[in-house]
Chains A and B, each alone.
Chain A
Amino acid sequence: MTTTAKPITPTLSSTVKPSDAVLRNPFIRLDPKDNVVVARMEVPAGTPVPAEGVTTLQAVPAGHKMATRAIAKGAPVLKYNTVIGFASEDLPAGTWMHSHNIAFGDLVKDYRHGLDYAPTVLLSPGDRARFHGIVRADGRVATRNYIGVFIVSHSGATVARQIARFFDADELAAYPHVDGVVPYIHEQGSGMERSGEPMDMLRRTIGGYVKHPNTAGALVIALGQEHNELEAFLEHQGLVRGPMLQTLVIQDAGGTKKAIAAGIEIVRAMLPQADTARRESVSAEHIMVGMQCGGSDGFSGLSANPALGAAMEILIRNGGTAILSETSEIYGVEHTLTARARTPEIGQKLVARIDWWLEYNKGRDTQINGQVSPGNNAGGLANVLEKSLGGAKKGGNAPLMEVYEYAQPVTQHGLVFMDTPGYDPVSATGQIAGGANLICFTTGRGSCFGSVPSPTIKLASNTPMYARMEPDMDINCGPVIDGDATIADMGQRIFEQVLRHASGEKTKSEALGVGLNEFVPWPLGIAD
């Protein structure tokens, strides 16, 4: 409830009628090999389910599971063709399956490092999908064309924001090929550890954005003596000043006001060069998607995540790249990725990151240490493994080609993993620093996230939320739940929309102007 205004868009959940497809089969089959299916809606006991040849023995709540075959005591329960636990007693077909009869027990994870690796069969270059991108001098391809105003430390925040703010639509009217001048404000760079991984991580995050193909020009601002010292930063990142990479030191410029004026002139001088960028038809292999999920619900793992997974499998067959992240949220199902790793070493790298996370979060009240939340459990998720499984579905079933640390440059095509927290702005920032030129973000409860210079495409897991949050949502994956689309159909639709947004079509968050407060490098260290 808000105290100030009423929702403008009504909630549809009370008015939408189940479609014919739902009435025909109230359950979703996630994989042909599964011995459970998931209810789209609450299904009463005694309901015949002809598609599965069974009748429900108990009522099955929405999002919960039903056994489609008899499962003997101790036999594995398979969802997404993955073991999510073991039957705690002999269970006949039609049984409602949940934490009361699925034992988690001492599941020993068999990493099978690289044993199930099967190389992706790529489409031949001539058959690949194409989009309109901006080819940069180094051969990388941009989906947007921004000038970025960066700060080595928080002390430059106001100067950077005011410089960027000066370049409104009127100021940029003469430069139609420039998407904007955007600030990258963060809270680090001063009062932090002077060396080591916290500083290295901050530097490679900012450096990754400066070098990003979507950044046509960059102005880097310093106060003058911050812990993230300007010259050391440039050297660490191999950045060399030039017409399209300039620096500005506030103390040398004579303070805030003069620095803003000087910064505006520097950016102004970059605009004609930035405006020479043109889009041309290029192969989809140049698309690098960072995958995110936030505000998940019981449906996320049934619709938006597997549909995005299907889209990413298409992208990967076209030679593109999909980055899976949020390490703390794949905990429990890492063995499904290690088995698909290109080499055993890549699988071991992933396990090493998981071990690091267990140590980092030791004794903390975080998800990696706990059970699924009461809300998730009520939504039908029996345990952490099942929840993580739904999240990992974003990556589809492609082989795992590489594992990266936070904000490292991503050079390997195919499905790769980047170690990041689950916290969306931090995670997406690491992926974009790594080179992602698009973000695909699944959400069940509704996210209002946006990012620059790489746009965010938001995928709703269910139709009522999509209707309520439509001005923020790009794609409705609800038809999968409603029974109006298969996951494969939905994946194809998502892939096509990805190509359009990569070609310049604005996403909802871009239209709203969201993304100028969402650059959040991982604050790994301590403040002092």
Chain B
Amino acid sequence: MSTSMNTPSPGESRLAPNVPRASRHANDVPQQAHLEFQGYVRPDGRVGTRNHIGIFVVGNCGATTARMVADHFTSKRLASYGNVDGVVPFVHELGCGMEMTGEPMNLLRRTIAGTIRNPNIVGAVVIALGCERNNIRGFFEQEKLVAGPMLHMIVMQEIGGTANAVAAGIAAVEEMLPMADACQREPVPARHLVVGLQSAAVDDLAARSANPVLGAAVDLLVEAGGTAILSETSDLAALQEQVARRAASAQVGGRIAQRIHWWKTYTHGRDTQLTRTSGSNPGGMASSADNAISGFLRAGSSPIQAVLEYAHPVNANGLVLMDAPAYAAVSATGQVASGANLVALTTGLGSTFGAAGVPTVKLVSNSAAFARMEDDSDIDCGPVLDGSTGVLEMAQVVLQRWLEYASGELTKSEELGVGDNEYVPWPIGVLA
């Protein structure tokens, strides 16, 4: 079997014509250009760090069916498909009892479709009950998805209920497995990395270790031509001027101001991080203002090249801002839908998060928390605190580790099976 680079991929038909390609700016990458990882090159030029089959639902009514289909594919049943990393359920709580049109529905649709198009997803089954407000055919049409050998559609009301739908889902995956298994890793430049930046359960120490280390690693990645997605706008809103100064153009600055204004209106009168002027967060977490300042360190020193709304496809390389809440599960879900093929998360007290379908690398601010939560933690940034390791030196380690994880080494959360419950599209509307 040849690799997907040279033959028309079975998944090609499902891709929209204008999906951005990772092959831009190929000639202006200076120092880090020699850096490579082993990735899955997709027909649109983007590169996967994993090779998953995804089981999606247009609404919660398909949740149990989707999970039963994914659960069927145990490591034993996948043993003969060495190039397939897993069959992953992308289950969520939305899709029905919500607004039929407008931004809440558009957001949900582009999140699911963006995830289906993520280069880590080689094939997909989309499951519907049949009468959801997020109608499955309306969803395919709006998102320009076309059913084919690597994109299947199952409607439970049409096929005769749960058991028949589970059987059909399993059959669809079995049909896709040989084609998915034909994909092979090949060396690609580091500029194909798209890293989503996250944080969870940060402490005061993160401002002196994990966050500046991540920022320096982002600078190295950007220098190599790669992409980093900054999010958590709800926190950054407290630093409006600082963030705006980093805009690469007046247009980008205007977009940043626009999103921050939206957040101030959205959270007005609500008891949230942005509206809390005093008081501390539970469990020794950093205070609101400090949290924002510390969090912005993750973005390094590169200019912000573009501002995306939640789950819109990444359309530039370098550092970009994708609007999202600070809530890691929601924020990472949006970044993956935008095209992130790696997530980097800083924590102080210890996080157990892992994104669905995309490896999450967790950087811990101090060695004590790293030791306590070692089963969940990937990189200890503690040595930076006592000066035994410099920030830049640590950042080089981080970048190297990213390349290893991108090449297939399992992160801690992947080893633990975290990710099957962590797909959370932003619930932005009202229920009905």
Contact = CB atoms under 8 A, between A and B. Distances in A.
Contact of B64 (A2, A154, A191, A448): A448
B367 interface: no
A295 B325 contact: no
Contact of B272 (A187, A364, A365, A528): A528
In which size bucket is the chain A interface?
A: 35 or more
In which size bucket is the chain B interface?
A: 35 or more
Interface stretch (B23-31, B45-53, B156-164, B222-230): B156-164
B282 A229 contact: yes
B430 A361 contact: yes
Contacts of A227: 282
12 contacts: A4-B154, A4-B171, A5-B154, A5-B168, A155-B352, A187-B93, A196-B270, A256-B376, A257-B376, A257-B416, A328-B432, A421-B432
B161 A158 contact: no
Interface stretch (A39-47, A313-321, A512-520): A512-520
Given A154-B329, A364-B99, A422-B97, A257 B156 contact: no
A91 interface: no
Contacts of A196: 270-271
Contacts of A447: 61, 129
A154 B424 contact: yes
Given A4-B152, A5-B167, A469 B161 contact: yes
Contacts of B427: 187, 523, 527
B10 to A, nearest CB: 13
Interface string A497-528: 00000000000010011111110101101111
A363 B330 CA distance: 25
Closest 6 CB pairs of A and B: A423-B97, A191-B327, A225-B283, A366-B432, A517-B63, A157-B421
A303 B158 CA distance: 22
A162 interface: yes
Interface in B257-291: 266-267, 270-274, 276, 281-285
Nearest to B234: A528
Interface string B20-45: 00000000000000000000000000
Nearest to B427: A523
Interface in A143-173: 154-159, 161-162
A485 B288 CA distance: 65
A448 B100 CA distance: 21
B102 interface: yes
A459 B167 CA distance: 24
Contacts of A527: 325, 327, 330, 426-428
Interface stretch (A14-22, A115-123, A247-255, A343-351): A247-255
B67 A255 contact: no
Contacts of B413: 256
Interface in A396-437: 421-426
B201 interface: yes
A528 B273 contact: yes
A158 B418 contact: yes
Interface of B: 60-61, 63-65, 67-68, 91-93, 96-102, 125, 129-131, 147, 152-165, 167-169, 171-172, 175, 200-201, 234, 266-267, 270-274, 276, 281-285, 325-330, 349-354, 372-377, 413, 416-422, 424, 426-432
A445 interface: yes
B163 A471 contact: yes
Contacts, number: 261
Given A9-B164, A255-B373, A448-B64, A528 B130 contact: no
A527 B235 CA distance: 12
Contacts of B270: 193, 196, 525-526, 528
A522 B349 contact: no
A15 to B, nearest CB: 15
B162 to A, nearest CB: 5
A479 interface: no
A5 B430 contact: no
B147 to A, nearest CB: 5
Contacts of B125: 4
A217 B99 CA distance: 38
A516 B271 CA distance: 31
Contacts of B167: 5, 8
A196 B266 CA distance: 16
B284 A225 contact: yes
Contacts of A157: 421-422
A264 to B, nearest CB: 15
Given A223-B352, A471-B162, 15 more contacts: A2-B152, A3-B153, A4-B169, A5-B154, A8-B159, A155-B352, A157-B421, A191-B325, A254-B372, A254-B373, A257-B376, A361-B430, A424-B61, A527-B327, A528-B272
Contacts of B161: 446, 448, 468-473
A191 B267 CA distance: 12
A170 B424 CA distance: 32
Contacts of A278: none
